[in-house]
Amino acid sequence: MTARSLAAGPMPFSDDKMPFYALGVNIARQVGGQTGFKSLLNSEELELVLSGFTESIRGTATQEDMVGMYCK
């Protein structure tokens, strides 16, 4: 039995891409669930958080020294 057959509705991606989508959902639940990001951040702030996360994961963050100043 596949996850697709267990899903209540349509899956957003094909079977080969769903594990990556599920990983993103899992990370978001772990981070967002513990901090309540939905109630803390507005839409623009959330986009900035996601931008920093994405750039860090990809290794393309250009302001790592500046981030260190704000995270101390």
- What is the 3 state secondary structure string of the chain? CCHHHHCCCCCCCCCCCHHHHHHHHHHHHHHHHHHCHHHHCCHHHHHHHHHHHHHHHHCCCCCHHHHHHHCC
Domain-embedded: residue 66:
no
Calculate what percentage of the chain has a pLDDT beyond 90: 1
How many domains in the chain? Answer: 1
Is residue 65 a part of any domain in this protein? no
Q: Which residues constitute the domain of residue 39? A: 13-55
Confirm whether 22 is domain-assigned.
Answer: yes
Decide if 19 is inside a domain: yes
Residue 61 lies in a domain: no
**pLDDT recorded at residue 44:** 93
**pTM tops 0.75:** no
70 assigned to some structural domain: no
pLDDT grade for 40, boundaries at 50, 70 and 90: confident
Q: Does 62 map to a domain?
A: no
